[in-house]
Amino acid sequence: MAEQESEVTAKLRDACNARNMLREAVLESKKKTEGAMAERKDRYEELQRLENQLEVCSAAAWLAVTEKNRLSDRLAILSKQPPVEPCRSRRRFGKRCQAEKPEEREHIGRVSQSSRQTLSDGSVVSICTEQEVRAGQSSTEPGTTETKRELLLPVNIMTTIQKVLQDSLGLDVAFDSDLYQ
């Protein structure tokens, strides 16, 4: 009987040791699982942050390409216009330009405010300031048989129209910051 008691006691001790070993293994597995879940959560949050950053960078790249194209178009249009050249004598000798005629002196450095468009019916519409009409700058060349219409506008309206025409080639896009946050 004592022998059976010692066997039962040994089996109980072995069962307790096995139970403790299983408990330690379960606790260790639980810690590893919690660590893996926390790491997975961190990676998921990092992935979400990187995806948001990619969307913002893609939008910024699209805006940069759009702005580059707009500026290229504007440069092409501006390069078609005759360039304003400084006086040759000033470039060569560093002296002040002396124009021969008073009309030439007035013309140097002056920018024309007028705009002239030919319509589909063959008529010409000239948009110019009142000062240009008085000076006779908006008149058409002699020998033209086109119908002519002139619109007189104040200088501030003329400047606004020119600005709108210049900016109409561009694409100004603003994103709502609430959409990307």
φ, ψ at 125 (rounded to 5°): -110, 125
Contact 174, 75 (CB under 8 A): no
DSSP state of 141: P
Domain definitions of the chain by residue range: 1-82, 112-164
Give percent above pLDDT 70 in the chain: 44
Q: What is the pTM of this model?
A: 0.34
Q: pLDDT per residue over 120-147, tens digit each? A: 566 665 656 556 656 665 454 544 444 5
For residue 167, what are the contacts with CB-CB under 8 A and spacing of at least 6?
Answer: none
The pair of three-digit structure tokens given for residue 125, joined into one six-digit string: 């519409």
- How far is residue 111's CA from residue 123's CA, in Å, rounded to a whole number? 25
pLDDT at residue 69 greater than cutoff 60: yes
Give 16's pLDDT tier (boundaries 50, 70, 90): very high
Angle among Cα 13, 16, 19 to the nearest 5 degrees reads 150
Name the residue with higher pLDDT: 108 or 29.
29
Lowest mean per-residue pLDDT among 35-49, 71-85, 123-137, 155-169: 123-137
User: CB neighbours (10 Å) of residue 132?
Assistant: 20
For residue 179, what pLDDT is reported?
A: 47
**Which residue bears the tokens 């948001």?**
52
Read off the pLDDT of each residue in 7-36 and give the average, rounded to a whole number: 95
CA–CA dist 177, 168 (Å, integer) = 25
What's the one-letter identity of residue 49?
Answer: R
Task: Evaluate whether 125 touches 116 at the Cβ level (below 8 Å).
Answer: yes
